[in-house]
């Protein structure tokens, strides 16, 4: 069994990565032999979809596959072969970061046919867990349309791979030391209090989600 964890934050040890790490601990609590394939997306060099349509061309050897050759090629194949997928991501400008969007274009578009009903070529239902972290409070996320944007992205994932579970860590602590940055709109004291109270709960939710995915895989 292999679970792929994609950390879509450029930071390898901050909110998103810590939540993903806790998820993997949950997985291992159920079965320590599950292979965790951890991918830091920002270490890879790749582009978004090139609109070549090789994935849709009649008779193409790339039908249903992305033809672009770069660092994402192997990752896309690994996702096709894995047993579970975790995508951890910060929210950038109200949605997932552009880099993750580039990956999703290549993964989801190649597997979506233009047949009536847009049949998925993925061929099975993959357990998918989305883990989000964002600066906003739940109210700000709702007001800013972030949750709508998340839902749209998840609809595409659901159609092609399988309906994702999701968890969200709101109001994250963005800097290790707020005093070093020019920040007027956040109160460090409030952020620290929220983090102290809430982040352990978010980590626990990630742990439980990891256990949940592993239990389903071994049911």
Ligand X SMILES: Cc1cc2nc3c(=O)[nH]c(=O)nc-3n(C[C@H](O)[C@H](O)[C@H](O)COP(=O)(O)O)c2cc1C
Query: Taking CB under 6 A as the rule, does residue 11 contact ligand X?
Result: yes
Among 120, 129, 133, 153, binds ligand X (CB under 6 A): 133
- Dihedral angle of Cα 170, 171, 175, 181, to the nearest 10 degrees: 140
Query: Taking CB under 6 A as the rule, does residue 103 contact ligand X?
Result: no
Query: Taking CB under 6 A as the rule, does residue 136 contact ligand X?
Result: yes
CB of 144 to ligand X, least distance (A): 7
Q: What CA–CA distance (Å, rounded) separates 207 from 85?
A: 15
Give the CA radius of gyration of the chain.
18
Closer CB to ligand X, residue 42 or residue 109? Answer: 42
Phi-psi region of 169 (alpha: psi -120 to 50; beta: other; left: phi over 0): beta
112 contacts 118 by C-beta, under 8 angstroms: yes
Choose the stretch contacting ligand X; rule: CB under 6 A; options: 7-15, 38-46, 53-61, 201-209.
7-15
Give the number of other CB atoms < 10 A from CB of residue 125: 11
Closer CB to ligand X, residue 10 or residue 162? Answer: 10
- Per rule CB under 6 A, count of chain residues that contact ligand X: 17
Residues near ligand X, by CB under 6 A: 9, 11, 14-17, 90-94, 133-136, 172, 174
């Amino acid at each position: 069994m292999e679970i792929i964890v994609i950390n879509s934050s450029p930071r390898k040890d901050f909110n998103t990565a810590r939540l993903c790490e806790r998820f993997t601990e949950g997985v291992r609590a159920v079965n320590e032999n599950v292979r965790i394939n951890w991918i830091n997306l920002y270490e890879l060099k790749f582009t978004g979809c090139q609109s070549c349509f090789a994935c849709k061309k009649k008779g193409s050897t790339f039908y249903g596959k992305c033809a672009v050759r770069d660092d994402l090629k192997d990752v896309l194949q690994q996702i096709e072969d894995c047993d579970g997928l975790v995508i951890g991501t910060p929210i950038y400008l109200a949605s997932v970061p552009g880099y993750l969007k580039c990956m999703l274009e290549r993964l989801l578009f190649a597997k979506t046919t233009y047949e009536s009903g847009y049949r998925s070529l993925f061929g099975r239902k993959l357990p998918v867990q989305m883990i989000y972290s964002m600066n906003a409070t739940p109210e700000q996320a709702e007001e800013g349309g972030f949750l709508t944007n998340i839902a749209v992205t998840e609809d595409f994932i659901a159609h092609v791979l399988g309906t994702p579970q999701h968890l969200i860590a709101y109001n994250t602590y963005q800097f290790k030391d707020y005093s070093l940055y020019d920040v007027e709109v956040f109160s460090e004291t409030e952020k620290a209090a929220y983090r102290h109270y809430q982040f352990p709960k978010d980590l626990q939710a990630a742990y439980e989600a990891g256990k949940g995915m592993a239990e389903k895989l071994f049911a």
